[in-house]
């Protein structure tokens, strides 16, 4: 079996660490003479680190999406991405151009799935945020079938951060923007297994919409990149960082990107929605907070009649703007400054509270500085506790997802967009451990539990390190999750790109049908 190029591991790998770390992110930003505008537009590049009997093997491959193939064939960008609008061949006649303008009002979206990896049953998919996902072979990184969510339900956009229940079923959220003007957020389930007689059919035929939340504004649905789940609830934050549908529909004609139609209204409120997973009913009390921008939920859980949920929040949308390639020049480490720092915030929302409580009283009964204050109209205004500042790309031990937990693993950033450290943060004691080294830019840290784990942090943390010093090679770093001390590194003597997200696939889960 070919696992990729073998690299020397310096240090000691735990013997139980057998499997594949699969990662995804943007890799190619120039095609022929054309260039994308935004870092999140780049052609998806898949990476794998295979751990086999104490050795580490590496391979990378561009996702052969239809978008990738069309671009390469034309030797220029011909498919629009979120931050870059592509136009037909300038040599096309006027009728071809007019048809193209009309078809872009509700366009065929890209299948350049560059954000994350999703597991369903024994299958793995590269995911983005459109209605398309691409099946991949986790061992060879070959690109397989394209799945179109719209064939199974009316979602046009879906998150790249699905959740998994204990049976491996996927719970995800998507937005329906073209269903007869009824803009809504949909929570849907993809089963991990299908009946034997149906195995030949697509498992997506069994996709089930569990609940729909109507958008507060039909023409301005919120953008969201992730959501939370607890044992009994789905947690959805409807932030005033919104897609302007009228602007989106006319973006192509106006010669602007879809990203320019994403607007942050700092005067508006952020609304919380909690959907009961068993009754499929939404909690009727209106909970809200001040305007914020969030991409990543960290975790959520229930405690004594409250929902506690932790997110990485911003006071504006400067993070998205910072990733425009015109801002990522060689000196951006010094010159590009975030105007809003990623901040780990905890909201504590009382679901069961004294209905006769006085207006103005704080209904939070847990030990936290987060508040939830009853308003005259019966709604509840929540203000968060700041757990810590300057962490992004959070990961947890997923066995603790939806449960009271202690540890977040994340990259650390200050006012500059460059990740300089990896952090382990204890949300209960607020203690923080770090790993850092000169010129090292770590990617999102992935926690892998020890199969015999007794405690939440029994395991290791894997992160890819891009090195800004051209004389040094990038490497895969392995940390002991408990002590945050280095167990070792595999120096990868090839170009390694900064990526977005990934997952570890234990050896027993990574067998393909052909094996």
Ligand X SMILES: CC1=C(/C=C/C(C)=C/C=C/C(C)=C/C=C/C=C(C)/C=C/C=C(C)/C=C/C=C(\C)C=O)C(C)(C)CCC1
Return residues touching ligand X (CB under 6 A). Answer: 40, 81-82, 109-110, 115, 128-130, 177, 225, 243, 248, 258, 295, 319, 392-393, 411, 413, 417, 419, 498, 500
Q: Which of 105, 100, 154 is nearest to 131 (CA)?
A: 154
Report the residue number, 248 or 423, with the smaller CB distance to ligand X.
248
Q: In angstroms, what is the minimal distance from the CB of 191 to ligand X?
A: 26
The contacts found for 325-334 with CB under 8 angstroms, 24 or more apart, are: 325/29, 325/35, 325/36, 325/37, 325/38, 325/39, 326/37, 328/39, 332/416, 332/417, 332/418, 333/416, 333/418, 333/468, 334/416
State the burial class of residue 78 (Cβ atoms within 10 Å of its Cβ: 0-12, 13-18, 19+).
middle
In sequence order, the 6+-apart residues with CB closer than 8 A to the CB of 268 are 240, 291
Report the residue number, 232 or 416, with the smaller CB distance to ligand X.
416
State the burial class of residue 234 (Cβ atoms within 10 Å of its Cβ: 0-12, 13-18, 19+).
buried
Q: In angstroms, what is the minimal distance from the CB of 268 to ligand X?
A: 19
Q: In angstroms, what is the minimal distance from the CB of 436 to ligand X?
A: 14
Q: In angstroms, what is the minimal distance from the CB of 143 to ligand X?
A: 17
Report the residue number, 129 or 456, with the smaller CB distance to ligand X.
129
Give the burial string for 120-150 (b: 16+ CB within 10 Å, else e): beebbbbbbbbbbbbbbbbbbbebbeebebb
In sequence order, the 6+-apart residues with CB closer than 8 A to the CB of 12 are 487, 488
Q: Which of 442, 484, 439, 440 is nearest to 461 (CA)?
A: 484
306 is in an annotated binding site: no
297 is in an annotated binding site: no
Report the residue number, 128 or 474, with the smaller CB distance to ligand X.
128
Q: In angstroms, what is the minimal distance from the CB of 402 to ligand X?
A: 22
In sequence order, the 6+-apart residues with CB closer than 8 A to the CB of 4 are 48, 50, 57, 58, 59
Q: In angstroms, what is the minimal distance from the CB of 150 to ligand X?
A: 13
Report the residue number, 52 or 247, with the smaller CB distance to ligand X.
247
Report the residue number, 478 or 498, with the smaller CB distance to ligand X.
498
434 is in an annotated binding site: no
161 is in an annotated binding site: yes
Pairing of strands 170-176, 43-52: unpaired
Report the residue number, 302 or 392, with the smaller CB distance to ligand X.
392
State the burial class of residue 315 (Cβ atoms within 10 Å of its Cβ: 0-12, 13-18, 19+).
middle
Report the residue number, 274 or 295, with the smaller CB distance to ligand X.
295
Q: In angstroms, what is the minimal distance from the CB of 501 to ligand X?
A: 8
Q: In angstroms, what is the minimal distance from the CB of 45 to ligand X?
A: 13
In sequence order, the 6+-apart residues with CB closer than 8 A to the CB of 49 are 20, 21, 23, 56, 57, 58, 462, 464, 476, 490
Positions at the binding site for Fe cation: 161, 225, 296, 501
Write out the binding residues: 161, 225, 296, 501
């Amino acid at each position: 079996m070919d696992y990729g190029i073998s690299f020397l591991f310096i240090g000691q790998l735990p013997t139980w660490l057998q499997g594949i770390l699969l990662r995804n992110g943007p890799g190619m930003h120039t095609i022929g003479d054309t260039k994308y505008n935004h870092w999140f537009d780049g052609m998806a590049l898949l990476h794998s680190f295979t751990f086999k009997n104490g050795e580490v093997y590496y391979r990378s491959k561009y996702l052969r999406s239809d978008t990738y193939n069309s671009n390469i064939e034309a030797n220029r960008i011909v498919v629009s991405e979120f931050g870059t609008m592509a136009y037909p061949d300038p040599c096309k006649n006027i009728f071809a151009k007019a048809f193209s303008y009309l078809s872009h009002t509700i366009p065929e979206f890209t299948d350049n799935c560059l954000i994350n990896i999703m597991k369903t049953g024994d299958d793995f998919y590269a995911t983005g945020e459109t209605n398309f996902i691409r099946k991949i072979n986790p061992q060879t990184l070959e690109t397989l079938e394209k799945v179109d969510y719209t064939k199974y339900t009316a979602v046009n956009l879906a998150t790249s951060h699905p959740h998994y229940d204990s049976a491996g079923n996927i719970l995800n959220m998507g937005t329906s923007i073209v269903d007869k003007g009824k803009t809504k957020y949909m929570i849907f389930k993809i089963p991990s297994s299908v009946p034997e007689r149906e195995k030949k059919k697509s498992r997506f035929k069994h996709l089930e919409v569990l609940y729909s939340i109507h958008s507060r504004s039909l023409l301005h649905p919120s953008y969201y990149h992730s959501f939370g789940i607890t044992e009994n609830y789905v947690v959805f934050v409807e932030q005033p960082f919104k897609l302007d549908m009228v602007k989106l529909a006319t973006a192509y004609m106006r010669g602007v990107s879809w990203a320019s139609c994403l607007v942050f209204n700092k005067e508006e409120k952020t609304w919380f929605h909690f959907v009961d997973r068993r009754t499929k009913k939404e909690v009727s009390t209106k909970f809200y907070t001040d305007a914020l921008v969030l991409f990543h939920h960290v975790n959520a859980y229930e405690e004594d009649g409250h929902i506690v949920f932790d997110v990485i929040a911003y006071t504006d949308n400067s993070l998205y703007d910072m990733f425009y390639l015109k801002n990522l020049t060689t000196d951006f480490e010094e010159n590009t400054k975030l105007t809003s720092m990623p901040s780990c915030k905890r909201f504590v929302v009382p679901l069961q509270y004294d209905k006769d409580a006085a207006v103005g009283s704080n209904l939070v009964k847990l030990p936290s500085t987060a508040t939830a204050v009853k308003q005259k109209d019966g709604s509840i205004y929540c203000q968060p506790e700041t757990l810590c500042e300057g962490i992004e790309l959070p990961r947890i031990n997923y066995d603790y997802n939806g449960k009271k937990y202690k540890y977040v693993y994340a990259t650390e950033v200050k006012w500059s967009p460059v990740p300089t450290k990896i952090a382990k943060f204890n949300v209960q004691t607020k203690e923080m451990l770090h790993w850092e080294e000169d010129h090292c830019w770590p990617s999102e840290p992935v926690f892998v539990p020890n199969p015999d784990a007794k405690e939440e942090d029994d395991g290791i943390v894997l992160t890819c390190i891009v090195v800004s010093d051209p004389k040094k090679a990038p490497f895969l770093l392995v940390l002991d999750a408990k002590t945050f001390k280095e167990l070792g590194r595999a120096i990868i003597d090839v170009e390694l790109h900064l990526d977005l997200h990934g997952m570890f696939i234990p050896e027993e889960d990574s067998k393909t049908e052909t094996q």
